[in-house]
Structure 1
Amino acid sequence: MSTLYRATCVAIGGRAVLIEGPPGSGKSTLALALIDRGAVLVGDDGVELTRRADRLFASPPPNIAGLLEVRNLGIFPLPVAADVPVALVLRFDSQAPRFIDEAESIAVTDLPLPLVRLWPDSPVAAIKAELALQRYGLT
């Protein structure tokens, strides 16, 4: 059974990254920047999560599969990945700490996932996202 989760999601190297934040915070913009760096879209503003044993897997919701909103330009069709193991949650937060020693933990469908908070509007958010996945993401 799958659950619709309100986040944008991309796959990087076979691992899914959920991107959370309030409307207009830059979730789709970060996804677009990561896609430009080689990531693949899973879902924009919504992703289906399926639990299998102690892992979550992300897939696009059928009604928006392969569609990404590019602010000021419209909706664009893109290649899409499905059934990708979720490794990390990124959350845009204007109160994000300057440094962290370890990721926080967040329960998503009752499973713990590493959570890293990022300042919104960073010109290097895509690089930070990749580094966060490398250091704190589930393998």
Structure 2
Amino acid sequence: MPSLHAACVALGDAGILIRGPSGSGKSSLAVLLAAEPDGVLVADDRVICERHADSLLARPHETLAGQVEIRGQGILSAADLGLTLRPDAVLHLVTDLVTDVPRLPEPPDDAEILGLRLPRLVLDRGVRRAGLATLLIRAALRKGKP
């Protein structure tokens, strides 16, 4: 089972995998989403993905379960941050954190993990700094529903 350098949260029943280079804000975005009324933290830093038929199940690496790394603060307990934990989530969306995207980009290709394709959202630094990431993730989840 592959271990991805990523974070995972769920909004309701929809799991969201957050990928990006070190220092891009994966953990910060995961904490913001997990702090939402319907949000829960699944994993930070290392996410284990398993294919189950036509879905991907994400869970934390056992040595990091229940912990979050906050830049400049160190490794903190999710419970100390007041975050609800969940042991796993079925992924519905992959969010990639990047530095820049064109002003009017083409829709991104789906993400492929373990041979399954998932809707993909690309968020640049400017969108995240403006505080729009949570709204755009919710919009992408709504759009992806049949």
Structure 1: 5+ residue stretches without partners: none
> Which residue pairs with 1:105 in the alignment?
110
Q: Which amino acid aligns with 1:134?
A: R
- Alignment deviations for residues 58-110 of structure 1 (CA, whole Å, 9 cap, x no partner): 11111000101122222221242123110000011233344567552121111
The one-letter amino acid paired with 1:90 is: T
Q: TM-score, normalised by structure 2?
A: 0.83
Preserved CA contact (<8 Å) 1:7 1:46: yes
Structure 2: give runs of 5+ residues left out of the alignment.
79-83
Partner amino acid, structure 2, of 1:106: A
Within 5 A, what are the aligned runs for 1:9-88?
Answer: 9-38=8-37, 39-78=39-78, 79-88=84-93
What is the alpha-carbon distance in structure 1 between the residues aligned to residue 115 and residue 87 of structure 2? 21
Residue 125 of structure 2 corresponds to residue 126 of structure 1: no
Aligned length: 137
Q: CA RMSD in A?
A: 2.0
The ranges of structure 1 where at least 4 consecutive aligned residues each deviate by more than 6 angstroms after the TM superposition are none
> Percent same amino acid among aligned pairs?
34
